[in-house]
Structure 1
Amino acid sequence: MEIDRAITGSSDQRLRTKYRNATYVIERAFALYQFEEVAFSFNGGKDSTVLLHLLRAGYYLHKEKTDQSYKNQLDGKLKCPIRTIYFESPSAFPEINSFTYETATTYDLQLDIIRLDFKSGLEALMKEKPTKAIFLGTRIGDPNAVGQEQFSPSSPGWPPFMRVNPILDWSYRDVWAFLLTCKVRYCSLYDKGYTSIGSIYDTVPNSLLCTGHSPDSNENFKPAYLLADGRLERAGRAKKFTSECGSASEISNGLNYVDPHRTSSLTASIICVGDEILFGTIEDKLAAALCKKLHSIGWMVVHVAVVRNDIDCVAEEIERRKSTDDMVILFGGVGPLHSDVSVAGVAKAFGVRVAPDEEFEEHLRHLIGNHCIGDRNEMALLPEGITNCCTMRSCMCR
């Protein structure tokens, strides 16, 4: 089977490990549920494309173990005729729709097209076709991933089914390493600078991939797999707000230029963590510099606070600000020392755990090489599911 051969023949040890873990989850699901009882949620994006080919590989490995005659029946392009759910939306990119339908034909996916919202669509579908488990391309950095495990029951109030998340622990780098190693087809938008695709109303090419020429043409963006920092894959998601005249407009997400006439729509708070500032032993100058810089790019700072080196104090201040402001900037108290509590405070405010971030650890290793050991590794512990954390002694969260 070509996917299995491509990965097992790769020199990328990390990718091979991720592949083995993901296919184990898939094989486990196929062992727990009848094939007719499982479904696959496909949206045409890079993550679900990875999952499609992992399902093909996992299906092959499962059948190889349970049916001795199966291996001899295979051709080079194994298909996996799994029931596939596609939520079609009028706001989807035409390229996403085309890619989805062509992929379904290529791999014999039994496509169920739903034109309702996710919850209502699932309720209607499961009345018609009872389903016990659904494979999802959720990764830990996704907004809805917090608290999920590789096998997670659906949330209260939703139709009962098991969410199966084989690539939950995969990073942006892992996704592209898999796609490029296996040489499988993916949506063409990723070659035009799109790194995270939503709807036509909230997705633009990632400005970090702009070649420096006019950003008005997709031809002036490098492909998605060249994004250096995978934590910024959602930098192409534009944010919406309603103007005074009531019409919806798109604005930058804070990483690109923001029209200074729209400053009233973007608010930020700054939180400094440090007993030494409260004791008066040092003077805080960074907050003033941040206020000046933020104002120059279109943000209005509405609140500046200094809190103690205490997890609860940090969490309480973030709790107060995160629901009212577009951005909260936190600095101080981030690091491997016992007094550095900011990361734990952010995690507590968002109700998540602190967990190792592989991409950030790689970044640290790039900066300090073999010195990335012991206490320094603790710098790679970040709030789980919160991906827009900045390097060194500062942390930015929404």
Structure 2
Amino acid sequence: MEIDKAIQESNDQSLKTKYNSAIFVIQRTLSLYPIEEVAFSFNGGKDSTVLLHLLRAGYYLHQVDCGHVNGDLSNYVSRFPLRTIYFESPSVFPEINSFTYETASNYGVQLDILRQDFKSGLEVLLKNKPTRAIFLGVRVGDPTAAGQEIFSPSSPGWPAFMRVNPILDWSYRDVWAFLLTCKVQYCSLYDQGYTSIGSVNDTTPNALLCINDSVGGKEKFRPAYMLTDGRLERAGRARKLSLPNAISNDVKSRESNIITASIVGVGDEFLSGSVKDQLGPSLCRKLHSIGWTVSRIAVIQSDVDSVADEVKRQKSTSDMVFLYGGVGLLHSDVSIAGVAKAFGVCLAPNEEFKQHLTHLYGEKCTRDVNEMAQLPEGITELLQHKKLHVPLIEVSQPLSKLSFEFPDIYIGCYRISRTGPLTITFEGKDEKMVEAAMEAVSKTLSSH
């Protein structure tokens, strides 16, 4: 199987880690659902092209594990087994259409072509062909990714199905590393300077890749994989609201010179009474001592939508919003994603923060630095305090992995102080499942 072979022969350890995690998610999904009830949404873009080839590899490896085929990966060729959905739109680039149909022909992909909007099309499709899970090429930097996890039920008001996001934690760099390492074909627009492709009405080549042709005076562009800062992936996409207006708190002329602040604490451990909130009152006292007024202090649950709603509410009335808790790498650490959603921006690896983390941890870091350095897009200044650190890097990956192995069990994790002991909590209605989750966590952490 050429994809698996290319990755295993690569020296890119970060890419191998992302690949193995994605394959695990795919195999897990194929174990949970009959293949007749699983679909794949393909749109011809770079992310879904990556997912297509991951699914090809994942399906084959699943077949090997089940004993349906032998273990020779070298010359495996087969018709793509998953029902594949393609939403064809009048505003789609002709190159995307051509690439989609050519790819379908090359890999034996049977397309279900829909010409309605995404929601209406799914309603019709799922009514005629019962589907319990759909693979999506959503990444954490996408506008639709806020609040999603690797396994996420569809939103209220939508047809009921499980959204499966194997490349949710992949960065722009990871996508291109995969495509170039595996030497698979992608849409030709990416070689013309397009870095993120929507419709013909809202997409242009990324100006950061522009090359001035001194002879003809025409604009030329370097290919998308040469964009060095993945945070600027969507620079060629039109925005409904310009970034400065979206990020900044509307500057209003105030009769008073007193600065008002709001404080938001995030953590289920606060709401359950397991931990006494000490930082909120301490911050109130500090702000009062320098002449600020605190207009509100709130403690909310660890939920992306709750964080986004509270931040939006407070930023409309306060000069500054302070937020603490829920910042880290676990599935329950949702504050950063909530802030991004509140401002209507994406999450993307921050290069300055990435360099800081690399310097801070070096070879001791067991997590992918691109994933650790995800921050809301548009940050122009990052203050790096000497005590700034990202805790739990040794246990975050196994705990996050176990969280979707036990989807009905809430696995919480917190420290009362920065250097204090780590507390892991388990909540669920099924006592046997809670005990199984506790045993799995105990075994997993004892091996780290």
Q: Same fold (TM over 0.5)?
A: yes
Evaluate the alpha carbon distance shift between residue 94 and residue 182 of structure 1 in structure 2; reply closer, same or farther with a 3 A threshold: same
Within-5 A mapping of 1:218-233? 220-233=220-233
Evaluate the alpha carbon distance shift between residue 311 and residue 63 of structure 1 in structure 2; reply closer, same or farther with a 3 A threshold: farther
Evaluate the alpha carbon distance shift between residue 59 and residue 122 of structure 1 in structure 2; reply closer, same or farther with a 3 A threshold: same
- 2:259 is the alignment partner of 1:269: no
Distance 1:40 1:316 in 2: 31
Distance 1:316 1:165 in 2: 24
Evaluate the alpha carbon distance shift between residue 347 and residue 17 of structure 1 in structure 2; reply closer, same or farther with a 3 A threshold: closer
- 2:12 is the alignment partner of 1:12: yes
Evaluate the alpha carbon distance shift between residue 35 and residue 347 of structure 1 in structure 2; reply closer, same or farther with a 3 A threshold: closer
Q: Residue 192 of structure 1 contacts residue 224 of structure 1 at CA under 8 Å; is this kept in 2?
A: yes
Evaluate the alpha carbon distance shift between residue 309 and residue 11 of structure 1 in structure 2; reply closer, same or farther with a 3 A threshold: farther
Which sits farther off after the overlay, 136-145 or 72-81?
72-81
Query: Which residue in the other structure is 2:99 paired with?
Result: 99
Unaligned runs of 5+ in 2: 253-258, 262-282, 300-306, 325-332, 385-448
Q: Residue 140 of structure 2 contacts residue 348 of structure 2 at CA under 8 Å; is this kept in 1?
A: no
- 2:359 is the alignment partner of 1:370: yes
Evaluate the alpha carbon distance shift between residue 381 and residue 277 of structure 1 in structure 2; reply closer, same or farther with a 3 A threshold: farther
Within-5 A mapping of 1:210-359? 210-213=210-213, 220-239=220-239, 253=242, 269=250, 319=312, 359=349
Evaluate the alpha carbon distance shift between residue 17 and residue 381 of structure 1 in structure 2; reply closer, same or farther with a 3 A threshold: closer
Q: Deviation at 1:218?
A: 8.5
Query: Which residue in the other structure is 1:295 paired with?
Result: none
Query: Which residue in the other structure is 2:198 paired with?
Result: 198
Q: Residue 346 of structure 1 contacts residue 383 of structure 1 at CA under 8 Å; is this kept in 2?
A: no
What's the secondary structure of 1:40's corresponding residue? strand
Q: Residue 83 of structure 2 contacts residue 111 of structure 2 at CA under 8 Å; is this kept in 1?
A: yes
Query: Which residue in the other structure is 1:32 paired with?
Result: 32
Q: TM-score, normalised by structure 1?
A: 0.69
Q: Residue 364 of structure 1 contacts residue 380 of structure 1 at CA under 8 Å; is this kept in 2?
A: no
Q: Residue 139 of structure 1 contacts residue 169 of structure 1 at CA under 8 Å; is this kept in 2?
A: yes
Query: Which residue in the other structure is 1:48 paired with?
Result: 48
Distance 2:73 2:340 in 1: 50
Distance 1:105 1:69 in 2: 24
Evaluate the alpha carbon distance shift between residue 41 and residue 228 of structure 1 in structure 2; reply closer, same or farther with a 3 A threshold: same
Evaluate the alpha carbon distance shift between residue 390 and residue 89 of structure 1 in structure 2; reply closer, same or farther with a 3 A threshold: same
- Note the alpha carbon deviations across 1:219-259, whole angstroms, 9 max, x for none: 61111111111011111111359xxxxxxxxxxx569xxxx
- Note the alpha carbon deviations across 1:77-128, whole angstroms, 9 max, x for none: 4442321100000000001111001001111111000000111100101111
- 2:112 is the alignment partner of 1:141: no
Distance 2:87 2:309 in 1: 38
- 2:132 is the alignment partner of 1:132: yes
Q: Deviation at 1:207?
A: 1.2
Query: Which residue in the other structure is 2:378 paired with?
Result: 388
Distance 2:383 2:251 in 1: 14
What's the secondary structure of 1:269's corresponding residue? coil
Query: Which residue in the other structure is 1:156 paired with?
Result: 156
Matching residue's letter, 1:389: I
Evaluate the alpha carbon distance shift between residue 127 and residue 369 of structure 1 in structure 2; reply closer, same or farther with a 3 A threshold: closer
Q: Residue 146 of structure 2 contacts residue 338 of structure 2 at CA under 8 Å; is this kept in 1?
A: no
Distance 2:352 2:79 in 1: 38
Query: Which residue in the other structure is 2:420 paired with?
Result: none
What's the secondary structure of 1:239's corresponding residue? coil
- Note the alpha carbon deviations across 1:176-218, whole angstroms, 9 max, x for none: 110111010001111111111111111111111112459x998
What's the secondary structure of 1:84's corresponding residue? strand
Distance 2:46 2:206 in 1: 15
Percent same amino acid among aligned pairs?
55
Matching residue's letter, 1:221: F
What's the secondary structure of 2:40's corresponding residue? strand
Q: Deviation at 1:386?
A: 3.4
What's the secondary structure of 1:234's corresponding residue? coil
What's the secondary structure of 1:75's corresponding residue? coil
Distance 2:152 2:353 in 1: 32
- Note the alpha carbon deviations across 1:286-316, whole angstroms, 9 max, x for none: xxxxxxxxxxxxxxxxxxxx88699869989
Q: Residue 331 of structure 1 contacts residue 393 of structure 1 at CA under 8 Å; is this kept in 2?
A: no
Unaligned runs of 5+ in 1: 242-252, 256-262, 282-305, 335-342
